[in-house]
Amino acid sequence: MDVKERIIQLRKTINHHNHSYYVLAKPEISDFEFDQLMRELIELEKEHPELKDPNSPTQRVGSDIDHEFRQVKHDFPMLSLTNTYSFEEIQEFNQRITKLLHGERVEYVCELKYDGVSINLQYKDGLLTKAITRGDGTTGDDVTPNVRTIKSIPLVLHGTGYPDQFEIRGEIIITRQGFERMNRGRIETGEPVFANPRNAAAGTLKIQNSSLVAKRPLDCFMYHIAGNKLPSDGHFENMMAARDWGFKIPVHMTRCRNIQDIFNYVNKWEQERNNLPFNIDGIVIKINSYRQQKKLGTTAKSPRWAIAYKYKTLQAVTRLKSIDYQVGRTGAVTPVANLEPVQLAGTTVRRASLHNADQIALLELRLNDMVTIEKGGEIIPKVVGIEKNYRQPDSVPIKFIEYCPECGTKLFRKQDEARHYCPNETGCPPQIKGKLNHFASRKAMDIGLADATINQLYDAGLLKNVADFYALKKDQLLHLERFGDKSADNLIQSILESKKAPFERLLYALGIRYIGETAARKIAGHFRSMQAISSASYEDLIAVEDIGGTIAESILQYFSRQDNLELIQKLSGHGLQMSVASDRPVRTMKLNGLNFVISGVFQHSSREEIKQMIEINGGRIVSAISGNTNYVVAGRNMGPAKLEKAKKHGIPVITEKYLYSMIKNP
Ligand code: IVH
C-alpha cells in the first residue's frame, strides 16, 4: 500500500471511529488505539504536505490564527418558532393546521427543543463547505473553522443518497457534564465561569481562534434539512437518512398521529428532562410532510407548520454585576441586583430583587457571585440563592449603603424590620413623586394622570406636595412640553372633579404607611371625619375592626407631624372631602350573601333608606319570604301572614335597630 492509500485509509478509519464515539456514543476501540491511528496520520501528513486535506480528521484541532468572522447571507432565512406555553395553544395550533389544510390528515413529529445555539451547515458533494450562525436570521457569522472542530459534525458524509447540495440545521450544545467540567477548569485558571451550558456554547462558538474551540466540549444535534432532491417528502424520514450520512440525530424524536400523542410526549419529557445529559427548554412540534409544510407556508418570522412548547423555566443562574438601591414612595430602600442578562421563562432578565440587607447577609452574597434567580408571581424575579462552588476569586463583599442614594439623608432601620428607610419623607424626590403618583392614582383621587406626567410636573417645580395639584393653573401647564390647550383644560377639570372623591378615598390617597384601601374604608367608616381620626388615641384606633397596632401607630405618627397637619389644612382649604358625607354611606360587605325581606313601617328611616342600607353593605332584598331568606326586617304593622311564614321557615325577624347593629358589628 502506498502512502496515499494509507493516508486515505487512516482518514476513513478515524472518521468511522469519531462517528462511533461522538455520534453513536458506541466506541469500538480504546482511546489508546484511536490515538495511535491519529498519530500515524499526523506523521504521514507532515511528511507529505502535498497530500494535505482540510477535511482530514487531523484538521479538527483547529488553527490558532485569529480571524474576524465574515458575515454571510443564508440561502434560506433562519426562522424562529412561535412559542406556546399551554395545551390549549397546542390544540389551537392543531385546529389552525387542520383548517388550513381543509381537514387533510396530518402526521406530526415531536422533538426536543435543545437549549443551545442554532447553526446552519452547508454541504456540497458530501463535504462540509460552510457553517453559519443564525445571526439576525438573514445573515450570520461564518464560523466554519470553529464548527469543523466539532467531532459529531461530519466533515465528509458517509454512505450514499445525499443530495449534491443541501443545508442542514441544528443546535450546538454543551452537555451539563461538559459544562461543569469546563467551569471547574475556568475557576482553576481564574477565568470567569459561564452561567449555563447555552452561554458556554454561544461564547465558545464566537472564539476567534479555532484551536481553543477544539478544546471545548461542543456537540451538535441536527433538526432540519433543506435542499432539492431529498430522499423523502417526510421530515422524519429525511432525518433518518441524515443519520445514515453521519449526522447526530437524537433518538428522542417521535411521530405523533394525534394531539393526545403530542400531549403524552410533552408530559413525558417535562418529567424526564432532568435525566437528559443536556438541557432542553421545551419541545418542538412539526408537520411531517413537506408538501403540507409548503402549503402552510411561513409568516415573516416563523413557519406555520411548527411550534415550540416551552417548559416553564422558573430558575436560572447568572452573574451579579452590581447592586442599585431604589427608594420607594414610603422611603423603603430596596436593593436591586443588576445581572448579566439571562433567559428565564421566555424573557431576558437583567434585574432581580434582593429584598433587603438581611437577605444579602443571609445569602452571604458578593458582587460577581453566580446567583440563582427565580420567577414567582411578581414581574421582577428575585435572587434566591448563590452558587458557592462558582465563587469568583474577584468577588467583593457587599456593604449595604448608609445614606439615601437620592437625597443623602442617613438611612434608618426600625427594630424588628428588615428594611432600611430614608426618613426624609418631604424632601426625598422619589418619595415625593411616589406620594404624588399614589395620590392621583385611580383607586385614590383618580385624577387620571400618567406617572410620567406627574414626574414632569414635579421636575418643573409645579408639584411639591399633593396639595399643589389644587393650585395648578392652566397657563403654568401650557408652558410644558406635551401640553396643549385641550389637555391643560382636561387636567384642570379632572383635578377639580377629584375634590368630590369620598373621604375614604382621600384618606387612602394620603399614603399613610400601612393604610391600604380596606383599612382606609374601615377607619373612615368608624371615625367619619379627618378631625376625629387626627384626635383618636391608640386605644380608639385599635378598637376599629381589623385595625391593629401597626396601623394605629402609623396613624398616630402621621398626625403627630406638623407638616402633615398643614398639608391636610391646605387640602381642606381647597375643598376636599374631610368627612363622610351624610348622604354617602360607607360601603361594607357585612351583609354579603344575606337575603332580606322588608316588611312594615319604620320609625327612623323610610323603607327605601333601609333597602339602600342593606344593599350598600352587600345584602340583597327579596320580595317574598322563602327558604332562601335569611332575615325579615320588621317595622310596625307587619302582616300576620308574613310573620307566620317567617316562623315556619325558622327565619329570624329583626328590628330596624338590630339591622343597624349588624352593620356596625356583625
Ligand atoms: S426547528 C424552521 N427543531 O429553537 C425550523 N428548532 O425558536 C425552525 N431549536 O432557532 C427550527 N431544538 O435554535 C427546531 N428540534 C428543534 C429545535 C430547534 C432547538 C431552536 C433553534 C431555533 C429555535 C427556534
Whether 339 contacts 354, CB under 8 Å: no
Whether 204 contacts 174, CB under 8 Å: yes
Mutate to test the pocket of ligand 1, among 169, 171, 235, 301 (most ligand atoms within 8 A of CB): 171
Residue 263 Cα, ligand 1 centroid: separation in angstroms? 19
Q: What is the pLDDT of residue 666?
A: 43
Helix (H) or strand (E) holding 202: helix 197-205
Distance from C-alpha of 626 to C-alpha of 397, rounded to nearest angstrom: 71
Whether 283 contacts 308, CB under 8 Å: yes
Residue 422 Cα, ligand 1 centroid: separation in angstroms? 49
Please indicate whether residue 114, judged by its CB atom, sits closer than 6 Å to ligand 1. Answer: yes
The residue ranges of the chain whose pLDDT is under 70 are 376-378, 582-586, 665-666
**N-terminal to C-terminal alpha carbon distance within the chain:** 104
Q: Are strands 631-634 and 653-654 parallel, antiparallel or unpaired?
A: parallel
Q: What is the pLDDT of residues 157-180, one digit of tens each?
A: 999 999 999 999 999 999 999 998
Provide the residue ranges of all domains of the chain, joining segments of one domain with +.
3-61, 83-310, 331-423, 429-498, 503-573, 595-664
Q: What is the pLDDT of residue 665?
A: 54
Specify the residue with its C-alpha closest to ligand 1, atom 12: 113
For 33-101, give the DSSP string: HHHHHHHHHHHHHHH-GGG--TTSGGGGG------PPEEEE-SS-----EEE-SHHHHHHHHHHHHHHT
Those residues with Cβ within 8 angstroms of residue 113's Cβ, 6 or more apart along the chain or in another chain: 280, 281, 282, 283, 284, 308, 309, 310
Please indicate whether residue 303, judged by its CB atom, sits closer than 6 Å to ligand 1. Answer: yes
Whether 604 contacts 656, CB under 8 Å: yes
Mutate to test the pocket of ligand 1, among 205, 221, 223, 280 (most ligand atoms within 8 A of CB): 223
Identify the CATH number of the domain defined by range 503-573.
1.10.150.20
| Residue 4 backbone phi and psi in degrees, to 5 | -60, -45
Residue 495 Cα, ligand 1 centroid: separation in angstroms? 54
Residue 125 Cα, ligand 1 centroid: separation in angstroms? 26
Residues facing residue 435 across a β-bridge: none
Those residues with Cβ within 8 angstroms of residue 70's Cβ, 6 or more apart along the chain or in another chain: 141, 142
What HEC string does 464-502 produce?
CCHHHHHHCCHHHHHCCCCCCHHHHHHHHHHHHHHCCCC
Residue 297 Cα, ligand 1 centroid: separation in angstroms? 16
Whether 628 contacts 608, CB under 8 Å: no
Helix (H) or strand (E) holding 343: strand 332-344
Those residues with Cβ within 8 angstroms of residue 544's Cβ, 6 or more apart along the chain or in another chain: 522, 523, 526, 527
Please indicate whether residue 121, judged by its CB atom, sits closer than 6 Å to ligand 1. Answer: no
Whether 318 contacts 145, CB under 8 Å: no
Distance from C-alpha of 629 to C-alpha of 622, rounded to nearest angstrom: 8
Could you confirm whether 113 is annotated as catalytic? yes
Whether 90 contacts 307, CB under 8 Å: yes
Identify the CATH number of the domain defined by range 429-498.
1.10.150.20
State how far Cα 133 lies from the chain centre: 27
**Catalytic-labelled residue, pool 4, 113, 229, 295:** 113
Q: Count CB atoms within 10 A of the CB of residue 479.
A: 10
Distance from C-alpha of 345 to C-alpha of 589, rounded to nearest angstrom: 39
Distance from C-alpha of 565 to C-alpha of 625, rounded to nearest angstrom: 52
| Class of CATH domain 3-61 | mainly alpha
Q: Which CATH number fits domain 83-310: 3.40.50.720, 3.30.2130.10, 3.40.50.2300, 3.30.470.30?
A: 3.30.470.30
Mutate to test the pocket of ligand 1, among 224, 239, 254, 299 (most ligand atoms within 8 A of CB): 224
Grid coordinates of 499:
375634590
For 91-153, give the DSSP string: HHHHHHHHHHTTT----EEEEEEE-SEEEEEEEETTEEEEEEE-TTSSEEEE-HHHHTT-TTS
Those residues with Cβ within 8 angstroms of residue 651's Cβ, 6 or more apart along the chain or in another chain: 625, 629, 630, 631, 632
Dihedral-angle region of residue 414 (phi above 0 means left; psi in -120 to 50 means alpha; beta otherwise): beta
Please indicate whether residue 308, judged by its CB atom, sits closer than 6 Å to ligand 1. Answer: yes
How many helices (H) and strands (E) the chain has is answered by: 24, 23
Range 101-112 burial, b when 16+ CB lie within 10 A, else e: beeeebbbbbbb
Whether 219 contacts 22, CB under 8 Å: yes
By CB atoms closer than 10 A (0-12, 13-18, 19+), residue 305 is buried
Domain 331-423 is classified in which CATH homologous superfamily? Answer: Nucleic acid-binding proteins (2.40.50.140)
Which of 201-207's residues contact partners 24+ apart within 8 Å by CB, and which partners?
A: 201/116, 201/117, 201/172, 201/173, 201/174, 202/116, 202/117, 204/146, 204/174, 205/117, 205/119, 205/133, 205/143, 205/146, 205/147, 205/172, 206/69, 206/141, 206/143, 207/146
Whole-model pTM: value is 0.60
Whether 13 contacts 38, CB under 8 Å: no
Alpha-carbon distances, residue 346 vs 84, 86, 124, 300 (angstroms): 10, 13, 37, 20
Residues facing residue 121 across a β-bridge: 131, 168
Q: Do domains 3-61 and 331-423 have the same CATH topology?
A: no
Q: Return the residue matching grid coordinates 410526549.
A: 265
Which DSSP symbol is given to 21?
I
Domain 595-664 is classified in which CATH homologous superfamily? Answer: BRCT domain (3.40.50.10190)
